[in-house]
Chain A
Amino acid sequence: MTLTRRDFIAATLATAFALTLGARAAQAEPEAAKIGAKPMATAPASAGGDTMPITLNVNGAAHDLAIDPRATLLDALRERIGMTGSKKGCDHGQCGACTVLADGRRVLSCLSLAVAQQGKAITTIEGLAQGETLHPMQQAFLSHDGFQCGYCTPGQIMSAVGLLTEPVGPEDADVRENMSGNICRCGAYPNIVAAIQDVRKANTNAPV
């Protein structure tokens, strides 16, 4: 039998939809894993290897998942929610390819446990554009050829968007220092710095 790309995507989406429904039905008590407010004895926690029901708020939409506590936010985004924009590079917090915003601040999704992200507003590269209108940082990266091979790009752009709200000095050197957690192997750095400086100089109050 031949499986077309369209069949494959349809099947994958159907499976994902079924899993999501299952997760929502299983979610009896969203705060089940909290201790402190109620006696420990009544606070169920996942046993090792079991899954926990969680809700992740990603790009403004709630996603109900039954998830292994070991799953990182990066894995949940890519493998469970189907948002593959955030990239897995080193998986140890050293390359920045997995950078997302949590409540507006840039963090590394590879060192964040998914179960610890409930109640936070997560923004990924998929959440930047408004319909067909690119975020000014996305547009600037395009205009300056800061995309290059593209693998580090989502992390670079998310980091750059996070940078806009931080106390970073005006010079190119300040941008380089504050983008140092994002590693690019194909050498797009000068173009990336130029793109970021364009957006900063335009003084856009770009929505995040």
Chain B
Amino acid sequence: MHPFSYRQASDEQAAIGAVGQPGAMFLAGGTTLIDLMKLDVQTPSQLIDITPLPLTKITELPGGGVSIGAMVRNSDLAHSELIMTRYPVLSEALLSGASPQLRNMATTGGNLLQRTRCYYFRDVTTPCNKREPGSGCSAIDGYHRIHAVLGTSRHCIATHPSDMCVALTALDAVILARGAGGERRIPINDFYLVPGDHPERENVLAPGELITAVELPAMPFAARSHYRKVRDRASYAFALASAAVALDIQGGAIHDARVALGGVGTKPWRSHDAEKALIGKAPGPDAYRAAAEAALRGAKPHKDNAFKVELAKRTLVRTLTMTAQKTV
């Protein structure tokens, strides 16, 4: 691990000021960052520990939404009564991710910035455009069973690894970020960038900006929501494909729907096309399969990950089926 200096920030303003210096990075739960520092993938010269910041509350917003402080631990968020009853898809997504120890460490803000598990990104002896712009992509011509089929470019096919963010994407979460110029609100669907020509840019955060909170808008029908994750092991593995779904079923028809996919996209993948395919239809296999076909229509599989296209479709069909069967 490269040498670095370490400081704790006790208020937001000081944290933002300190991270403005060259080579400085925020340290939250550390579950991604310390791991990548041990691999020399990330080499900050200064760590600004933001875990003492008092951003640890989950609070109800006027109008029925919920605000989640950036330092709320994943395990606390997953087990929050408010989240379990109003947004079960988020609780289920969190509990499907990582291990209990990691969930006790990881934070909401940190999870939003989790880095890809692409093995070439994590291996500094191989070229990677995300790690070293212009060096090339080892995955496209390499072994890419775990890689993305949606949102890829000729420069990068790395998958976004988070489960939490897939649920947040289905729920239209808003990210609150504060920088030297004040606070701004970023809808999660505008937060992540597809790789394009700049895979090293993963989100729209400006240098020095601190994520302070995530807000979930009021969405009463999200009480009928579900997260399903398909992976190589029964537990403690990243998704090969996952789906976050919320369904508003009224009078035997789907009145509204939210669909997001994980494990298959270069960012948490919202599918408005799948939602359109569902709205107005009777819940059932025909509507679900049509939604799945719509969701994967733009997929660009490579030789080792072609199986993900059908896997993601079946995962979405199964998730929609189970969501519709939920009693709320």
Partner-B contacts on A (CB < 8 A): 33-37, 40, 43, 45-50, 52, 68-70, 72, 91-93, 96, 99, 105-108, 111-113, 115-116, 159, 162-163, 166-167, 176-178, 180-182
Closest to B233 in A: A180
**Do B235 and A180 have beta carbons less than 8 Å apart?**
yes
Closest to B235 in A: A180
- Of the listed stretches B58-66, B95-103, B159-167, chain A binds B95-103
**Contacting residues of chain B (1-48) with chain A, CB-CB under 8 angstroms:** 1-11, 13-15, 17-18, 27, 30-31, 34-35, 38, 45-48
Apart from A92-B38, A107-B104, A116-B27, list 15 A-B contacts with CB within 8 A: A33-B7, A34-B52, A35-B14, A40-B18, A48-B4, A68-B3, A70-B4, A96-B101, A108-B101, A112-B34, A116-B49, A159-B100, A162-B101, A180-B99, A181-B236
Tell me if B51 counts as interface (CB < 8 A to partner A): yes
Of the candidates B11, B45, B52, B104, the one whose C-beta lies within 8 Å of that of A106 is B104
B interface size (C-beta, 8 A): 41
Closest to A48 in B: B3
Q: List, in ascending order, chain B residues with CB within 8 A of A180's CB.
A: 99-100, 234-236
Taking the closest CB of chain A, its distance from the CB of B53, in whole angstroms, is 9
Of the candidates B5, B17, B104, B236, the one whose C-beta lies within 8 Å of that of A69 is B5
Taking the closest CB of chain A, its distance from the CB of B29, in whole angstroms, is 8
**CA–CA, A127 and B114, complex, Å:** 33
Q: List, in ascending order, chain B residues with CB within 8 A of A106's CB.
A: 100-101, 104
Tell me if B294 counts as interface (CB < 8 A to partner A): no
Q: Given the known inter-chain contacts A70-B3, A113-B27, A116-B49, please indicate yes or no for A36 contacting B14, CB distance below 8 A.
A: yes
Tell me if B322 counts as interface (CB < 8 A to partner A): no
Q: List, in ascending order, chain B residues with CB within 8 A of A35's CB.
A: 7-10, 14-15, 18, 48
Tell me if B185 counts as interface (CB < 8 A to partner A): no
Q: List, in ascending order, chain A residues with CB within 8 A of B17's CB.
A: 40
Q: Given the known inter-chain contacts A47-B5, A111-B34, A177-B235, please indicate yes or no for A36 contacting B100, CB distance below 8 A.
A: no
Tell me if B105 counts as interface (CB < 8 A to partner A): yes
